[in-house]
Amino acid sequence: MGTDQPRKVGVEKKGRTGLLSRSRAAGRVKALVRCLGVAVGTLGLIATLASPATADPSDTPLTVDDAKAQVAGLEADAAAIDQESVGVKEQIKSSKAKLKQKRSDVAAQTAKVTQMRQQVGQVALAQFQNRSLNTTARLLLTEDTDGFLNQVSTVEKVSQNQNSALQDYQSEQADLASLERSTATDLAQLEAQQKSLTDLRKQSDAKITEAKAVLAKLTDEERQRIAAEEARLAKAAQQDANAVTTSDSTAPQDSGSVAGSGRAAKAISFAKAQLGKPYVYAAAGPNAYDCSGLTSAAWKAAGVRIPRTSQAQYGAGKSVSKSDLQPGDLVFYYSGISHVALYVGNGTIIHAPHPGSNVRYAKLDSMPYAGARRVG
């Protein structure tokens, strides 16, 4: 037993040493794996960051044509929102006028009810004072029977008038309550419209900011190319417009050389005088215009009043086909009717295009055509 004990201790010590060695080896392996994992993960992250597939789409280079399409779409959206907000402004204007009238009606009705309340109070007092003695008793006690009967007849007539006054008072008081409720409803609607207008303005501004950001991605040379192309198209449209001769003809556009007559000619003359003036939201002259502000001002100068917005103008006058257009006709664009121009002849329009632009000529088919109306 005594000789075996040291051997046993040695074995245990050797076993522990082996276990420690294996444990340390395993630890080193795990550490190595962790290091490799970190390295692989780091390489993967670097590869991911460098991969074109994960790049921000907004950083993708644009072609000039792509930029033009995007900017045109955003400008059209901004102009459409402007027309919608102009419509809301018209609603607000109408609501304010309606509210002002109702408040005036409420004041008048309040004065009327107050006066009638005094009359009703006098009626109630008279009825209270005469309630203690009925007609039969008073007839028996009076010496002048005929005179009393005449008085009774008069009193009954007065009583009928008093009852009528009481009924009128109740009716007028109900009308006052109805007016007050209606005024409160109109005020709430006006507040909602004001909020809607604010939201629309923010949306339009955001579209213009986005359009500027698109252009900012282009080089100076590319932006100059776009500006040169726009100038070329505007010049071509102006040459076509200048080719329209002044006459009394009202021939269709296919005749090539046509001009408006009468009120249409006055509307066109007014619009031409506005060339170069800036597009400004909700403007209808004299120093700036939006699209429907220009067309409504032009026709107003010709003695014809038309609605303020492009959508409302689409319901004015009578519909005309594209092949039968005459100078002075209103021409509408885009689905939802968000833009309007004035036809001047020879396949040319004059319009206030969008925020950031000026009143100018353009080709009839420069935008998605939606219809035309004749108002003069």
Q: By 3-state DSSP, what share of the chain in percent is helix, strand and coil, each rounded to 5?
A: 65, 10, 25
Q: Which of 339, 354, 360, 373 is catalytic?
A: 339
Q: Which residues pair with 361 in a beta bridge?
A: 350
| Annotation says 351 is catalytic | yes
Give whole-number Cα distances, 373 to 294, 324, 329, in Å: 16, 11, 6
Active site residue 354: no
* 328 closest CA partner among 234, 242, 263, 243: 263
Q: Is 250 helix (H, G, I), strand (E, B) or coil?
A: coil
Contact yes or no for 258/252 (Cβ under 8 A): yes
- The DSSP line for 286-327 is SS-B-HHHHHHHHHHHTT----SSHHHHTTSSEE--GGG--T
Six-digit token string for 209 = 């900011």
d(CA 133, CA 136): 8
d(CA 341, CA 360): 10
- Which residue among the candidates 207, 351, 354, 373 is catalytic per the annotation? 351
DSSP symbols for 11-27: HHHHHHHHHHHHHHHHH
Would you call 339 a catalytic residue per the annotation?
Answer: yes
Active site residues: 291, 339, 351
